[in-house]
Amino acid sequence: MRFEEQLLALVPRLRRFAMSLSRNEADGDDLCQMAIERALKSRDKWQPGTRLDSWAMTVMRNIWIDEVRARKRRAETFVAAEAGDCIGDGGDRRVEATVELGQVDRALATLPDEQREAIALVLIEGFAYKEAADILGIPMGTLSSRLVRGREALMQALGEVA
């Protein structure tokens, strides 16, 4: 499969990771687009035979770090998601699931960046600990610690017993 086809197949996963990094749908879409554009321009830096998903998510994370730094310099802040985005319609299971997912998204957004990134890569995207640690550029022990603290914080935010 060609590079472009492989990258296209990754778009849903890249978009999910972008949303978990940015905590905002519009910013996530922009981040995903920037990452795909940079991946296409930098395809010669990817080593065939290695995991394209890990490489592309590393590219995305680096773009996000640059963007956050630029925003801090410009003194821009994120606007918190407004409560009540999801409106129920008399118990429809799909709507209830959407509300629950919204609660998880809001709880995830309250985590520190390092915990949110670890959870997004391991629990949402399904990367192995070693792969996630490589993407984040940290030791596996550090990743494990961030996951434990992140899970506990999520459970507490969602009212689960830790």
At 162 the pLDDT is 46
State the Cα–Cα distance between residues 65 and 72, nearest whole angstrom: 11
Q: Which of 28, 60, 79 is the last residue of a domain?
A: 79
CA distance between the termini of the chain: 45
Q: Which domain holds residue 12?
A: 1-79
Structural domain contains residue 59: yes
> Is residue 8 domain-shared with residue 68, that is, in the same domain?
yes
At 77 the pLDDT is 44
Structural domain contains residue 86: no
* CATH number for the domain that contains residue 15: 1.10.1740.10
At 130 the pLDDT is 92
Tens digits of residue pLDDT in 45-99: 988 888 999 999 999 999 999 888 887 776 544 445 454 554 544 555 655 555 5
> Is residue 69 domain-shared with residue 23, that is, in the same domain?
yes
For the chain, the domain total comes to: 2
The structure's pTM equals 0.56
> Is residue 2 domain-shared with residue 71, that is, in the same domain?
yes
pLDDT greater than 80 at residue 1: no
Tens digits of residue pLDDT in 109-155: 888 989 989 988 998 888 999 999 999 999 999 999 999 999 898 88
